Homo-oligomer: A and B are copies of this chain.
Amino acid sequence: MRVLSGPALAVAVSCAGGLGFTGPGVRTQDMIVDLEEASKLVEKARNTSSVFKTFPTTHPLLPVGVGFQLWGDDINVAVANIERFKPCAAWLYAPREGPVEFENWSRRIRKVSPLTQIWIQIGTLGGAKQLLETSEKPDVVVVQGAEAGGHGRTKDGVGIMSLFPEVADALGSSQIPLLAAGGIADGRGVAAALCLGASGSVMGTRFLAAKEARISRGYQNEILRASDGAVTTTRTLLYNHLRGNFGWPAEYSPRTIINKSFVEQQAGIAFGELKKRHDEALKMGDSGWGPEGRLATYAGTSVGLIHEVRYAGDIVREVQEDALERIRSLRANNK
């Protein structure tokens, strides 16, 4: 959700009782604009309705988090903006140098904004265990299963159903709240994650179909159209490369909806030609996406559970209510 989740989406999610994050944007500097806009939207929301249950007006933090990609983001810019805007959470992911980078970022962020919660996303048991050894413990750990859209582990990812409980057992003594990510797009998944021991869950793909998402119509239409994520999505670096993005550490690759760029790559067409065709498709507007399109369409395996574009607040409320209702009805069926 690096670019796709802007201030409007993040604030809408937080307004409705979730916690919305803005991405770091294309460059770390871009977060200034997003956080300024988010601050204004929060101000406006506070003046018009009684929202942000957990963040009353007197709360010193911005009720929105910011995500970072440690391998590419500028820590000095990040820290300066965290100091200035005081987002309630900073989400750290994908260090190039391993856990020492989590530690360094956490220390720097806490120094300028001690109340900002540090969220760290991991996708492996090994990654989780390393967090126990750092001197800067995260406030929240996000456990990402192989189902997740966008960037995740290329070779050592696994379904959240067994990854989550194993990580929970390994981190249990730390008392750090764990959130489940990957493959969760409705109340069923959220309730399931709670049963696995999660304190909550993370949804990315679901919000690609939010009205407030910073996403092209063609891309969003694909989220609605695609189903059967096992077959229609794959992890591949191709679309990063077509977009000129070569920076991600080797362990990561994004899950994306398959279209002609990937199909033709598999058929043996050379990268140079694919790149030419991709760049032509960039000029085609919304028809650059879709089965006959060529543009990056990052999404998780949960695409088949998403059928309509809705306001983010409605998504949050519906998912929460559905999750609670599922737990209630199971309870009713079992004494």
Contacts and interface: CB of A to CB of B under 8 A. Distances in A.
Contacts of A162: 147, 183-185, 189, 229, 300-302, 304-305
**A125, A145, A230, A304 pick with most chain B CB within 10 angstroms:** A230
Interface in A314-335: 323-324, 326-328, 330-331, 334-335
Interface stretch (A67-75, A192-200, A236-244, A288-296): A192-200
A330 B169 contact: no
A38 interface: no
A312 interface: no
Contacts of A197: 188
Number of copies: 2
B301 A158 contact: yes
Contact of A161 (B126, B182, B228, B304): B182
A159 interface: yes
A165 interface: yes
Given A125-B230, A195-B195, A330-B194, A186 B165 contact: yes
A145 B231 CA distance: 13
Interface string A12-34: 00000000000000000000000
Interface in A156-174: 156-163, 165-166, 169
B159 A231 contact: no
Contacts of A229: 158, 162, 166
Nearest to A197: B188
A2 to B, nearest CB: 22
A99 to B, nearest CB: 17
A208 interface: no
B185 A189 contact: no
Contacts of A166: 227-229, 302, 304-305
Contacts of A10: none
Contacts of A195: 188, 191-192, 194-195, 323, 326-327, 330
A278 to B, nearest CB: 25
A124 interface: yes
Nearest to A320: B334
Given A125-B304, A230-B124, A145 B159 contact: yes
Contacts of A323: 195
Given A188-B195, A192-B192, 14 more contacts: A157-B230, A159-B160, A159-B161, A160-B161, A161-B161, A161-B182, A166-B229, A166-B302, A191-B196, A191-B330, A192-B196, A195-B326, A195-B330, A328-B334
Interface of A: 124-126, 145-147, 153, 156-163, 165-166, 169, 182-186, 188-189, 191-197, 227-231, 300-302, 304-305, 323-324, 326-328, 330-331, 334-335
